[in-house]
Structure 1
C-alpha cells in the first residue's frame, strides 16, 4: 500500500484527508501521463490509437461524488485528455466499459461500503483491472511534488492549450451497454421467482432492478432512494438485517444486498438466513465442479474465509488457495494461475470468465442460475456448509502497523493461537482502507471466540494504541 492509495483506492473523509484538490491533481496526472505515453509510443513506432487519451469515469450516490467528478474532469481536460462520464453507476460497470471500449483507464468515485461522508478514487487500467502499483506510485509522487517519469524529472506538468484541451463526453450509453451485458448472461428465465433487492441507496439503485425485471423476475426493491446522505445507512450488504426481515415478511424466494458501489453481494435465502461470500464460493464452486467447469479444481479465497468453507471444499475434493485480504489479491492469483472463481467472505466474488473485478449484480445472477438449474431453494444449496462461529472486532488505532507489530500484542496473539490449537484460529491484520486493526477468532463456540478476541483487544488498549 502507498501513502495515499490503499488496497481499494485513495479513500478518506471528503475534504478532510481526500480533497477536491487531490482529485484535480489525480486528473491532471492521468490526463498527462496517458497522453505522454501515447505520444512516446507513436514516436517509437508502436501501435497507438489516434487522438487524445480517453478516460471513463463513474461515481456513486454520495453528495461529494459530484465535487470529485468535476475536479477530476477539470484536471483531465486541462492535461488534454477526454473525459467520458457514465454518471451514477457501479464499479464493475466502469471496469467493463474501460475494457470493452478500449479506454486508457477508468476512474470510479466511491468509498464502497463506508458512510456518506467518506469517499474514494479507484483507478482501473485499460484491461478493466485495478491499476498496477507502478502507475499508482507515479500518481502519489506527483501528489507529493516529486515526479520522475519516462526517465525525466517533472517539476510541473504542462497544460494543454488551444485545440489540445480535452473535452467531456456524456457516455451513459456505456452504462446501458453494461446493463445489456448483464441481461445477456441470464441463462434461465426468472419468471415466477420473487426476488428482493437491497440497493444500499447506492450505485445499483437504477441498474439492478432493470436487470432482474428484464429477466422476468417479480422484483421487490428496498433502499433505492438515494439522497446523497443515506448511502449504506442501515442498508445494503453491511446492514443485511433489513433485507432478512423484508424477505420473510414478503414471502420472497431470495434476496440480494449490494454495497455502495455494488462490487459486492450478499444473499438472503427464503428463510431469512444470510448467505455469505463463503457460501457463494461453496455453492458456485460445487456447481462448476459438477459440470466440469472448475478449471484447476481450485477456489481462490482469502485468509478471512471461514474454517467451515475449507472443510466443505475438502469433502467435495475441491482445492483452494488463500490470498491476502482484498479482491485485488484474489484477482491477481486467479490471473496468474488460470482460476475461474474466487472471492471474499464479505461478498466480493470474481467470476473471471465474465468480469475482471468483483460484481455484485453478476454474483446475484450466478446464484439465481444455480438455484434454477438445480431446482432447489437457496437454503438447501447452502446447507452443507457449516460455518464456524466467528468474532471480528475492529479496533480504531493511532498507528495500525505499530499496534500489530508490538511485542506484547504479538505475544497475546501467539498465546491465543496455542490455546486454540487445531480447533480454531486467530487472525490479526491491518485494514487496507481505514485506521483499524482487525482481530478475528474462529472456534467451535461463540463464547470462546469472544473471550480470545477480548484478550487481544485489551492488550492493544492497555498499550495505548486504541482511539476510544
Structure 2
C-alpha cells in the first residue's frame, strides 16, 4: 500500500483545507493513538509541540482529542523547535512525538510530523499502517481508559540546556556579536537565550510572532533582513532559522550567505581532520551542489547521496553508521547530538569553528566554489503530473542530452506542495538557462 496522506515530511497542506482540517487531525490522532496502544494498556504517552502559526491551536486541540479518545496520555509542549520534540519524545519515554508545523512555508500552511519513541521520524511502514487505520473505523477506549492531557511548562528550558551541551564546554561566545533571525517561529525564545547564556551579545530578529508572520520576510528563506541587520550593527555573524528551527543559513560579517552545502563542507572537513567523521562519509541529497561533491573528493571524503528529504538522509545515516548529513536547504543532521535536523545546534557548531580557528565568519562560509546551479519551480494542478505528457518527456530527454557532458539535470515533484522542481547544474551558464527554461516552459504548457 502506498501513502496518500503522508508526504516526505508528514502530512502537510493549507490550514482548514484537506488534509489540514480539525476533522482529519482528530481522526489522525485517533489512528496514531490506536496504533501505539495496541496492547490496550493506559500507560502510553505522546508529546506534542508546535510552531507559532494561528492554526496550530486548532490542530493541537484536534489531535489531543483524537489521541485521548483512544487512551493516549498527551503532554503539550507549546511552541518549541522540531528537534526539541525529537529530544523530548525520547527523554520523556513517550511512544510518539508530534510536531505541528509547515517548516519554512507561509503561515496559511501547516503540517503534522511524527516521531517514534527513539526520537527519529516515524518510518514509512508505520505511517502506512496509521493511514490504513485512519481509513477504517478506529475503536475508541472505554470511558475509564480515556487519556489525560497536561501542559509541560519547561519543555523549552529542557531544550535550551540540551542545545548548550553541544557547544564545547571550554569555549564561550564572549566578545562575539551575533544576529539571530528566528523567523517569528518556534525558536523565537530558545535561540536568543541559548546564545546569550553562552556569552554572546545577541541581536534578535524575527522574535515577535503574531500567528501570521512566521517566515514572512525573515528566516532562512529570506536572509536579506538579517544581512542588513548584521551590517547595521557591525555583527560578527548571523544565524537564520526557519519556522520550526530545523533549518539554518549562516551569514558572515558582510551578510554573505552559507547554505547547507557550505556548512556541511566545513563540518565534514573539520570532523574528518579530527577523526570524528564516522565512515569518513557525508550524507547529502541529490540536490546538493556538484561543487560540494568535487570538494569532498579532493579531501578524500566520501559523499553518499539520497533522495530529497531529511528523513531519507537520516535513514541512510543510520543504515551506514554515519554521523553527519543534511540538505542544501539547511537541514543539518548530526546524530552525535540529535535525531533530526537542528538549525540552532548546527549554528553552534559553526560558531565553535570560528572560536577554535580564531577566524572571522567570512573565512569559513565558502569552503568550495559552487558549480552554477539553477532551480525553478512550476506549480501544477494536484493529481495531474505534467511529467507524464509526451511534450515534457521529450523536453527532458533533449535537455539531458545537451547538458550531460559538463553538468546534470534533476526534475522532481515536491513532497510537500504541488510543484515540479527543475534543477540543473553546468559550467556553461548560458546552456544551463536554455535547458532549464525549455523544460519549465514545457511543464507550464502541460500543467
Confirm or deny a common fold (TM above 0.5).
Answer: yes
What CA deviation, in whole Å up to 9, does each residue of 1:404-461 have, x standing for no partner?
2333322212222221233221110010011010001112254433222110011112
Q: Which residue of 2 aligns with 1:296?
A: 279
Contact 1:404 1:430 (8 Å CA) reproduced: no
**Structure 2: segments with no counterpart, 5+ residues:** none
Secondary structure (helix, strand or coil) at the match of 2:154 reads helix
In 2, the alpha carbon distance for the partners of 1:241 and 1:415 equals: 37
In 2, the alpha carbon distance for the partners of 1:242 and 1:174 equals: 29
Q: Which residue of 1 aligns with 2:27?
A: 25
Q: Which residue of 2 aligns with 1:245?
A: 228
Q: CA deviation at 1:340?
A: 1.1
Matches within 5 A, 1:381-392: 381-392=364-375
For 1:312, which of 279, 295, 300 is the aligned residue? Answer: 295
Secondary structure (helix, strand or coil) at the match of 1:204 reads coil
1:394 and 1:201, CA in 2 relative to 1: closer, same or farther beyond 3 A?
same
In 2, the alpha carbon distance for the partners of 1:451 and 1:198 equals: 36
Matches within 5 A, 1:200-239: 200-239=183-222
In 1, the alpha carbon distance for the partners of 2:334 and 2:203 equals: 26
In 2, the alpha carbon distance for the partners of 1:444 and 1:37 equals: 59
Secondary structure (helix, strand or coil) at the match of 1:36 reads coil
Matches within 5 A, 1:47-126: 51-126=42-117
Q: Which residue of 1 aligns with 2:4?
A: 3
**Structure 1: segments with no counterpart, 5+ residues:** 40-50, 146-154
1:330 and 1:7, CA in 2 relative to 1: closer, same or farther beyond 3 A?
same
Q: CA deviation at 1:4?
A: 0.9
Confirm whether residue 140 of structure 1 aligns to residue 121 of structure 2: no
What CA deviation, in whole Å up to 9, does each residue of 1:230-288 have, x standing for no partner?
00111111111211221122111110111110111111111211100000110000000
Secondary structure (helix, strand or coil) at the match of 1:205 reads coil
Q: Which stretch shifts more, 234-243 or 445-454?
A: 445-454
Confirm whether residue 179 of structure 1 aligns to residue 160 of structure 2: yes
1:353 and 1:156, CA in 2 relative to 1: closer, same or farther beyond 3 A?
closer
Q: Which residue of 2 aligns with 1:129?
A: 120
Confirm whether residue 459 of structure 1 aligns to residue 442 of structure 2: yes
Secondary structure (helix, strand or coil) at the match of 2:385 reads helix
TM-score normalised to the size of structure 2?
Answer: 0.96
1:318 and 1:400, CA in 2 relative to 1: closer, same or farther beyond 3 A?
farther
Secondary structure (helix, strand or coil) at the match of 2:374 reads strand
1:156 and 1:308, CA in 2 relative to 1: closer, same or farther beyond 3 A?
closer
Contact 1:400 1:436 (8 Å CA) reproduced: no
In 2, the alpha carbon distance for the partners of 1:112 and 1:14 equals: 13
What CA deviation, in whole Å up to 9, does each residue of 1:141-164 have, x standing for no partner?
23322xxxxxxxxx44123303x2
For 1:437, which of 410, 420, 444 is the aligned residue? Answer: 420
For 1:158, which of 140, 147, 170 is the aligned residue? Answer: 140
RMSD: 1.5
Q: Which residue of 2 aligns with 1:329?
A: 312
Number of matched pairs:
443
Secondary structure (helix, strand or coil) at the match of 2:411 reads strand
Secondary structure (helix, strand or coil) at the match of 1:347 reads coil
Q: Which residue of 2 aligns with 1:44?
A: none
Secondary structure (helix, strand or coil) at the match of 2:38 reads helix
For 2:322, which of 339, 352, 356 is the aligned residue? Answer: 339
In 2, the alpha carbon distance for the partners of 1:302 and 1:157 equals: 40
